[in-house]
Structure 1
Amino acid sequence: MQSTATSIKAYLEEIPEERKIAFTKLRETILENIPKGFVEQMSYGMIGYVVPHSIYPDGYHCEPKLPLPFMGIASQKNFIALYHMGIYANPELLNWFVTEYPKHSTQKLDMGKSCIRFKKMNQIPFELIAALVQKMSVQEWIICYESAFKK
């Protein structure tokens, strides 16, 4: 479910009232912890965190006009989603996250390849998300991305 919002402000205004506090806290957690160099912008109909062309001119291999995506947060129909490409590309990071998750939440981990779904707003493990966000610098993400995805 992609939003048609063209700005972060407009996207935030679309979020259902019952999710606004949790979504805002998730966004603030990311902004406070994301390594220098990543840029927040609208990306794929959600709030994204990308490596800008000024740092990585090649852009995203699927669409080089777009900056290299790293993370995104979205308010989907039935949950808040955190998309983290590092988890998808780096098995060690995935294993760390899966091992740590039960230490921070009583909810069963609900995730896909890069998507972590939070259905209960009071069960979002903000401290764990802060640690996850800090785990990969821009340069580490570029190296990981090129080895995992770029042909």
Structure 2
Amino acid sequence: MQSKATTPEQYIKELPEDRKEVITKLRKQLLDNLPKGFEEQMCYGMLGYVVPHSLYPDGYHCDPEQALPFINLASQKNHVAVYHSGIYSDPDLMQWFVNEYPKYVKTKLDMGKSCIRFKNMKNIPFELIGELAAKMTPKEWIDRYEAVVKR
């Protein structure tokens, strides 16, 4: 479900009540933990955390007008999703997350290549998402992106 909101605040305001609190808490974890240099903006109808053109002028290879995406946060129809491009491209980071997840949540991890899905709003490991956000700097993401994704 892509939003037409133009700001993160508008995006959150338009959410159903039960999602506002969850998205707000996840957003806070990301803003509090992302290393300096990432910027928050609306991307593809979701909250986006990107490497801005000022740090990476090439932008996103699929659309160079867009800043380089790193993490997106979205309220989807049946779940809340955290899309983390670094976890998709870094097997060690993926393994760390998969190993840590059961320490926070007793239910099975529901994950795609870069998408972490939360269907039960009571089972979101907010602190773990904050830790995950802190694990890669913009420079590290640019280096990994150019080595693994951009090719």
Shorter-chain-normalised TM-score: which range? over 0.9
Provide TM-score, normalisation by structure 2.
Answer: 0.97
After the TM superposition, which parts of structure 1 deviate over 6 Å for at least 4 consecutive aligned residues? none
Give the aligned residue type for 1:44.
Y
Give the aligned residue type for 1:90.
D
Q: CA deviation at 1:126?
A: 1.0
1:129-148 alignment to 2 at 5 Å?
129-148=129-148
Gaps of 5+ in 2: none
What residue number does 2:116 align with? 116
Task: Confirm or deny: 8 A CA contact 1:79 1:119 kept in the other structure.
Answer: yes
Q: CA deviation at 1:112?
A: 0.6
What residue number does 1:78 align with? 78
**1:104-137 deviation line (CA, Å, top 9, x unaligned):** 1012100111000011111100111111011000
Please give the alpha-carbon distance, in whole angstroms, between the structure 1 residues aligned to 2:93 and 2:9: 31
State the SS of the aligned residue for 1:140.
helix
Please give the alpha-carbon distance, in whole angstroms, between the structure 2 residues aligned to 1:7 and 1:23: 14
Give the aligned residue type for 1:43.
C
**Percentage of identical aligned residues:** 62
Please give the alpha-carbon distance, in whole angstroms, between the structure 2 residues aligned to 1:13 and 1:136: 29
Residues matched between the structures, number? 151
Please give the alpha-carbon distance, in whole angstroms, between the structure 1 residues aligned to 2:141 and 2:126: 22
Task: Confirm or deny: 8 A CA contact 1:51 1:138 kept in the other structure.
Answer: yes
Please give the alpha-carbon distance, in whole angstroms, between the structure 2 residues aligned to 1:9 and 1:27: 11
Provide TM-score, normalisation by structure 1.
Answer: 0.97
Give the aligned residue type for 2:128.
L
